[in-house]
Amino acid sequence: MPNQTFSLYLDVVRFLAAVLVLLYHSNWRELITDQVPLGGYGHSAVIIFFVLSGFVIAYVSDVKEADAKSYAVNRLSRIYSVAIPVLLMTPLLDVWGESISPVFYEDKTTHDLWYVRIFSSLLFLNEVWFVSIMSFSNVPYWSLCYEVWYYVIYAAYIFMRGWKRWVAIVSIALLLGPKILLLFPLWLVGVAIYKWQITYNLSVFKACVLWLMSFFAFYGFHEYGVQYALADLLKAWGGDYLYEQLTFSKYFLSDYLLVPIIAINFIAFRRLSGLCPNMPQAVSRCIRYVSGFTFILYLSHQPLLQFYGAVINGNPDSSRFYLTVIGLVIITVFALGFLTERRKRTWKRFFDLLLSWKGRTRSLNT
């Protein structure tokens, strides 16, 4: 079980990863002429999310959610409390913003077959097989269409038994196709970190060295362009068609090199956190509060960036324009957080009643 310090560390990493994704998507010339510092770390930040997600799901299913119903209620309320409001908000912002300043939406959104986009997004089917359905301007939504199915596969594994378990897992795999499954082992690394208790036996010195080295390795990974070099290699080997069909999984070669760096960072800090297992209450409360807006920041920032960019339509040579847009995005994210993530209990009660009603209906019919 992670101690408080390690748990807070993961919250900090999770929030900073969302900030990196925000910087990545804000790094376009309509908003700012210069390159944004740390603006090239977006995809790597998503891989951090995958590893974190695997760790957290392994923990909660082991300690807090011992049955399938509680697992389902918590996952559904967590996801839909944010996904549904953002999904409904995005096309409205897109249409409004595009009518004000179309340049901010060129090749960055689409409105055709809107009902298909909403339906597939609600069921997280946007990236199955070689389909790639854009959720309007909300590009980051793709990762949710991977992660949700990792929850489902893991639930089938831990809550089902015998031949039914494997029939369910194979059926889900056949529904999803290779793109989503290609990154599933990265998510499972998070599960392995939680399960692999032997890492607590690291010496403090080794843990400190490994933790510091992981930051240098993470920096070097991006400084030397490993992600794009291996993507180009994949394109040369497999051809343009395969490269394009893989869409967000086309960086899988470098992702498999990046994940050990992330894993080492988490493993090493888990050992170091044992030196100070508890943090001051004020620090803990502050970190928990801010990190509570991570999901809404991640899932809403892209349409908000484009909308505020279009509304203000300032000079990209001026940092004032860029900082104003970023400031408005952050303010809006925090406001949305109180209407979404901070209302998880309401969604939780809804899904609890829904699944309880389904369970009673099933028992009456048998």
pLDDT at 181: 96
Indicate whether 366 pLDDT > 60.
no
**Residue 334 to residues 140, 169, 298, 301, 339: CA-CA distances in angstroms?**
18, 38, 12, 11, 9
Which range has highest mean pLDDT (4-18, 194-208, 276-290)?
4-18
Quick check: 29 and 42 in contact, CB under 8 A? no
What average pLDDT does the chain have?
89
Using the CB atoms, write b or e for 277-289: b if 16+ within 10 Å.
Answer: eebeeeebeebee
Q: What is the CA radius of gyration of the chain?
A: 21
What's the rounded mean pLDDT across residues 82-92? Answer: 93
Side-chain-side CA neighbours of residue 288 (13 Å): 12
pLDDT at 65: 78
**What are the pLDDT digits (tens) for 156-193?**
999 989 889 999 999 999 999 999 999 999 999 999 99
Give the residue from 71, 84, 150, 61 showing the smallest Cα distance to 352: 71
pLDDT at 364: 46
Domain total for the chain?
1
Name the pTM for this structure.
Answer: 0.91
pLDDT at 1: 62
Domain interval for residue 150: 4-365
Per-residue pLDDT band for 136 (boundaries 50, 70, 90) equals very high
Which range has highest mean pLDDT (49-53, 76-80, 223-227)?
49-53
What's the rounded mean pLDDT across residues 111-138? Answer: 91
pLDDT at 325: 93
Per-residue pLDDT band for 360 (boundaries 50, 70, 90) equals low
Per-residue pLDDT band for 40 (boundaries 50, 70, 90) equals confident
pLDDT at 361: 56
Give the residue from 50, 65, 66, 60 showing the smallest Cα distance to 7: 60
**What are the pLDDT digits (tens) for 258-275?**
999 999 999 999 988 888
The residue ranking higher by pLDDT, 347 or 115, is 115
Least confident of 55-69, 133-147, 162-176, 242-256: 55-69
Whole-angstrom distance, CA of residue 366 vs CA of residue 355? 17
